[in-house]
Amino acid sequence: MSVNNSTIAFIGATGGCTNACLVHALRDGYNCTALARTPEKLNNQLKEQGVQESLLASHLTIVQGNATQVEDIKKTLVDSNGKLVDTIVSGLGGSPILHFNWRQPLQFMSLDNPTVCETAAATLINALTALYRDQPALKATKPALVFVSTTGITRGPEDVPFWIRFIYHQILTIPHQDKKKMENLFRGHVDNAAHSQVFRVVTGIRPTLLAGTVNVNDQLGLDRVRAGTEAHPAIGYNIKRADVGHWMYANTIRPSEAKTKWEGQMCSLTS
């Protein structure tokens, strides 16, 4: 399938990692759909990064809605011709807030919505399940899923540097609980029988602590990114959001030998 015929749905597109991935996809001519609570915010973000108005008009459809609403997700996944997108990129996450608990004083980092990742993951699965039920022919073109998670919740060898491991796990306990539940939902569907799987393939992105702004130009470059798998993680301290988005695009969406290598993996990223 050529790039110009490929379609990508973005969920959480105003976030730094997913936003950068969207910019690269648009510049390469992909037809993209993005779900956004405030379309104007996303539109302005993209223009500020140099994405031309003509490109937005011809290659981007913004669906106003919420990632926790099944009907909004369904509108994002199916185009006007009833065709299902080829790839879904999900980068949802809550906004950090301080939350002090005398019994667990180090677990002071929480989220404005501490179950947003789990809820959105369940909604995406439910939306696809409903689409397959109502339009069985769509099962023949199941989409690939690429989703942003985090280090610190691996099922394999430790992927957090030894010197910050204890404090990292303590401070981020609450956000990590939500990410872990999201991962379990997505990865659980990979283990299902083929006929009940909702995705063609699932690829997880686990960046270390995120740095930088929501701007595709705020990056160090792909040559500064180290990547690993769950079995052999890349261990480091931080990475720019724009570098995560660029790596996602270059290695899990754009056709290449790298895509073949990383597709279906839980990919740890650090600088």
Rounded CA-CA distance 133/91 in Å is 26
pLDDT mean over 233-258: 95
Q: What one-character DSSP code corresponds to residue 142?
A: P
Residue 20 near residue 241 (C-beta atoms within 8 A)? yes
Amino acid letter, 103: R
Q: Are strands 87-90 and 7-11 parallel, antiparallel or unpaired?
A: parallel
Rounded CA-CA distance 67/116 in Å is 9
Residue 42 near residue 15 (C-beta atoms within 8 A)? no
Q: What is the pTM of this model?
A: 0.93
Q: What is the mean pLDDT of the chain?
A: 92
Token pair belonging to 220: 């160090």
* Predicted confidence (pLDDT) per residue in 81-95, tens digit: 899 999 999 998 877
Give the per-residue pLDDT at 1.
44
User: Which is it for the CA torsion 21, 22, 25, 30, positive or negative?
Assistant: positive
* Predicted confidence (pLDDT) per residue in 43-56, tens digit: 999 999 999 999 99
Domain residue extents for the chain: 3-270
DSSP 31-66: EEEEEES-HHHHHHHHHHTT--HHHHHHHEEEEES-
Is CATH 3.30.420.40 the right assignment for the domain spanning 3-270? no
